[in-house]
Amino acid sequence: MALDSRSLSPAQRYALVLVDLSVGFTDPTKSPLASECPAVIEANRKLLEAFRRRGWPVIFTTVAYDQPSQARVFREKIPALNVLAAGSELVRIDPRLTPQDGEPVLVKFWASAFFGTDLAQRLHEAGVDGVMVTGLTTSGCVRATALDALQHEFRVLLPEQAVGDRDALAHQANLRDLQIKYADVRDLEDCLALLG
C-alpha cells in the first residue's frame, strides 16, 4: 500500500545548498569519483543567478581530508575518497560555479552537509525555513543532505535537473524515494519560479 505523501507548502525563504560540485566530482579526467555532468552544472548556474538576484543565502560544500583519522571508516569503504586531499585542485568548486564573496564553502568529511559542520546554525542565522539541495551525487551526499535538512525542520526542494549521479538507476530510485518521504522533487523551472 502506498504512503499518503503530500507536497510541502513553499518556504518563506530558501537557501541554496550546492553539494560537492567540486572538480573531484565534476571532472572524470581528473578523479575516479566524477562523472560527465554538464547539464547539472548548467542547472546549478541558473539557480545561482536566481538566488544571487534575490539575495538569498548560497552555501557550497566540498569534501577534503588532511588527516588519516578523518572519516576513516567511510574512506575504507570507498578508497577513491582518498584523492580528495585538502588544498588540491579536486576539492575546489568547479570553476563554472565559482563562489562569490560571502558564499561560504563548507568542508565536510562524510556524506551529509550537516554532519560535523555548522550548516544548520548558518541556515537558522540566515532566517531560512527551506533549502534547495543540489549537486552530486543524488544517491549519496545529496540524499544524505536532503534527509538531514528535513530532520532539522527545513522544507526541502530538489530541482531535478540540478542533481546527478554516476549511476543512472541509483539516481532515479533515490529521487523517487526522496519525493515520497523526505523532499519535493521539482522541475528546475518550477524551482526558479519560486525565486521570482
Residue 191 known to be catalytic: no
Give the Å distances, CA to CA, from 176 to 10, 15, 191. 20, 23, 18
DSSP state of 16: E
Which of 116, 125, 152 lies closest to 133, judged by CA?
A: 152
Tell me the three cell numbers of residue 16.
541554496
* Catalytic residue of the set 141, 156, 162, 178: 141
Give the Å distances, CA to CA, from 40 to 12, 47, 73, 85, 187. 26, 11, 29, 24, 13
How far is residue 116's CA from residue 114's CA, in Å, rounded to a whole number? Answer: 6
- Cβ contacts of 33 within 8 Å, gap of 6 or more: 24, 25, 80, 81, 83, 84, 166
Active-site positions?
141
